[in-house]
């Protein structure tokens, strides 16, 4: 097998000696489940009604499947630390990959400090007690920095947190589904057949959330040189985690729709409200106005489920931070960013400087969003979720075509797994990502065209009714700043690039990962 015709800077060749192999097949599968199954958006999908399940299955075939095939090939053919940064660099060059990676990385502190924090705080308040005034900020800071400390751990220890997160998801969703069945037998359900009929207006409202729910296949490959055997483990783990993820999304969304009437499902608290309602079968009641009171065993079950949900969203943030921070540190060590941020700890093998910077940014996002929206949790949730999706998806516009480009550019590289029809496998997810970005910037584009029904204004996120300009600015201004930061990072990486290169990369199979304690 020929050497790959590209190279890292000398500093990365030094930094990678701090890595150790401690990431194996079951770890990768759990890591993927934790990354893919985000509990924070279940209510948003259920809020759009039963057709959300139809579009969920549609995108499972036409987005999730080709995306999984793409990640399986790239992850096994180019198993280098940094994953999507390396793939994009080999396909399009260091500058494009560097700017791309900054967007990919920044989406994580935006998401953790934004949607995940508000879901955690809202869940706590619904099941325990309110956090008035400054205490909401304190609660958010505790959530963010708990995740920060977890990410700093050595990977051989930190990898257990995604495993715990995956198990908590399965237990929480399994308990919820069983409770829904009991609740349905006692109280009946709300769905009727015609509500499943798909529509374009439903599609444009759901596609950004559904596609966002389905991303994360590439994340374990950011730690590829810490894997036992990435060329075998990546494809098999993607298959198992992909099937399980579709089930873990579909079951709670269907359960929420069965339990709550459509007008009672909020995009922020829909799943939490459904949990409260179904747990009344163990003790409690639902009043005529829809308010829920849990008592006895129902109250205990509710609190356990609330803690499970908070743990679930926290481990989502931890998992994505582990991957995104690693890839950003690799990019910085490779001259696509400040060399100061490209250092891995000799003791823990983790990029501590990037980890801490990410946590600081998450805290700033949390505080700024609360101040700007004056405590309007729904508006906060909608704006930050849209921004987290858009920053992530812009990076995929280069990462997804990398498969087809590298097939043509490097045809002789050994590929333990080869995707069928590479141009289609690259094109399908790229098209859906591009469509999603358009809908995020201008929600409802195409609604009412060519005889379709609906009003484009109705596609604006909750909290922004009648304020399209305000929503657009909440997306475009931060995106422009992120792109500018990516370019600045590349400029700051010039000294590392001038330090020289070490020649072509050897084949992945022959590269050693050295363990140091």
Q: 194: Cβ–Cβ under 8 A, 6 or more apart, which residues?
A: none
Inter-CA distances, 404 with 5, 74, 394, 428, Å? 17, 10, 18, 12
What confidence score (pLDDT) does residue 2 get? 42
Q: Is residue 474 part of a domain?
A: yes
CATH number at residue 54: 1.20.1740.10
Compute the distance between CA of residue 398 and CA of residue 484 in angstroms, rounded to an integer. Answer: 17
Range of the domain at 187: 10-323+330-507
Residue with tokens 């296949």: 217
Give kind and range of the element (H or E) at residue 293: strand 292-294
Total structural domains within the chain: 1
| Inter-residue contact 299 to 284 (CB < 8 Å) | yes
Would you say residue 398 lies in a domain? yes
- For residue 337 the two structure tokens come to 């960013």
Q: Considering the entire predicted model, what is its pTM?
A: 0.85
Q: Please state whether beta strands 292-294 and 284-286 pair in parallel, antiparallel, or not at all (unpaired).
A: antiparallel
Looking at the domain assignment, is residue 259 inside a domain?
yes
Give dist(CA 105, CA 103) in Å, integer: 5
Domain-located, residue 442: yes
Residue 4 falls within a domain, yes or no?
Answer: no
193 burial level (CB within 10 Å; 0-12, 13-18, 19+): exposed
pLDDT at 376: 57
Tokens representing residue 5 in the block: 């015709």
Chain position carrying tokens 């759990």: 30
CA distances from 113 to 61, 106, 296, 369 (A): 32, 11, 34, 9
Assess if residue 488 is contained within a domain.
yes
State the pLDDT at residue 427. 95
Residue 89's pLDDT is 93
Mean pLDDT per block of 10 residues along the chain (517 residues) reads: 57 79 86 83 71 86 92 91 92 92 90 83 84 85 88 83 89 86 78 66 77 87 88 87 86 77 54 79 79 85 87 90 92 90 87 92 83 60 71 88 93 88 94 86 67 62 69 79 90 82 52 36
pLDDT at res. 67: 94
Residue 5 belongs to some domain of the structure: no
Q: How high is the pLDDT of residue 399?
A: 92
Cα 188 vs. chain centroid, distance in angstroms?
34
Do 117 and 395 touch, CB atoms closer than 8 A?
Answer: no
| Pairwise CA distance, residues 59 & 429, whole Å | 10
Q: What is the pLDDT of residue 512?
A: 41
Helical spans, DSSP H, in 451-501: 468-492, 494-498
Q: Is residue 514 part of a domain?
A: no
């Amino acid at each position: 097998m020929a050497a790959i015709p590209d190279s890292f800077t000398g500093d990365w060749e030094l930094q990678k000696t701090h890595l150790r192999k401690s990431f194996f097949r079951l770890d990768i599968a759990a890591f993927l489940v934790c990354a893919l199954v985000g509990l924070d958006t279940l209510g948003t999908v259920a809020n759009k009604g039963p057709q959300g399940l139809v579009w969920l299955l549609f995108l499972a075939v036409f987005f999730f499947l080709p995306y999984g095939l793409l990640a399986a090939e790239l992850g096994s053919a180019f198993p280098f630390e940094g994953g999507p940064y390396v793939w994009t660099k080999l396909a399009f060059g260091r500058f494009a990959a560097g700017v791309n990676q900054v967007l990919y990385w920044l989406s994580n502190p935006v998401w953790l400090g934004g949607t995940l924090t508000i879901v955690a705080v809202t869940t706590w308040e619904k099941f325990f007690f309110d956090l008035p005034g400054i205490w909401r900020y304190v609660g958010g800071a505790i959530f963010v920095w708990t995740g920060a400390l977890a990410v700093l751990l050595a990977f051989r220890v930190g990898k257990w947190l995604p495993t715990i997160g995956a198990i908590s998801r399965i237990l929480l969703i399994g308990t919820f589904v069983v409770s829904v069945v009991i609740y349905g037998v006692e109280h009946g359900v709300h769905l009727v057949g015609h509500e499943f009929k798909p529509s374009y207006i439903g599609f444009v409202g759901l596609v950004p959330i559904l596609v966002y729910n389905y991303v994360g296949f590439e994340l374990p490959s950011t730690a590829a040189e810490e894997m036992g055997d990435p060329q075998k483990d990546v494809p098999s783990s993607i298959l198992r985690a992909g099937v399980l993820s579709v089930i873990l999304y579909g079951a709670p969304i269907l359960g929420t729709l069965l339990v709550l009437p459509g007008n009672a499902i909020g995009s922020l608290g829909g799943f939490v409200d459904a949990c409260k309602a179904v747990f009344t079968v163990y003790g409690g009641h639902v009043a005529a106005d829809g308010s829920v009171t849990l008592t006895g065993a129902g109250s205990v079950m509710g609190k356990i489920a609330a803690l499970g949900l908070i743990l679930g969203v926290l481990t989502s943030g931890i998992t994505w931070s582990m991957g995104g921070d690693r890839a950003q540190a690799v990019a910085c060590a490779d001259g696509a960013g400040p060399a100061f941020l490209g250092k891995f700890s000799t003791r823990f093998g983790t990029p501590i400087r990037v980890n801490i910077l990410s946590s600081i940014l998450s805290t700033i996002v949390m505080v700024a969003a609360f101040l700007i929206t004056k405590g309007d949790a729904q508006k906060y949730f909608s704006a930050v979720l849209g921004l987290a999706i858009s920053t992530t998806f812009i990076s995929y516009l280069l990462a997804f075509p990398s498969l087809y480009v590298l097939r043509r550019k490097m045809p002789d590289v050994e590929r333990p797994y080869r995707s069928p029809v590479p141009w289609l496998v690259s094109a399908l997810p790229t098209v859906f990502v591009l469509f999603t970005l358009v809908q995020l910037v201008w929600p409802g584009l195409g609604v009412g065209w060519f005889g379709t029904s609906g009003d484009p204004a109705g596609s604006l996120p909750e909290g922004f009714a009648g304020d399209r300009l305000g929503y657009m600015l909440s997306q475009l201004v931060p995106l422009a700043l992120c792109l500018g930061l990516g370019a600045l990072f590349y400029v700051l990486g010039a000294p590392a690039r001038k330090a020289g290169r070490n020649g072509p990369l050897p084949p992945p199979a022959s590269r050693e990962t050295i363990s140091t304690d």
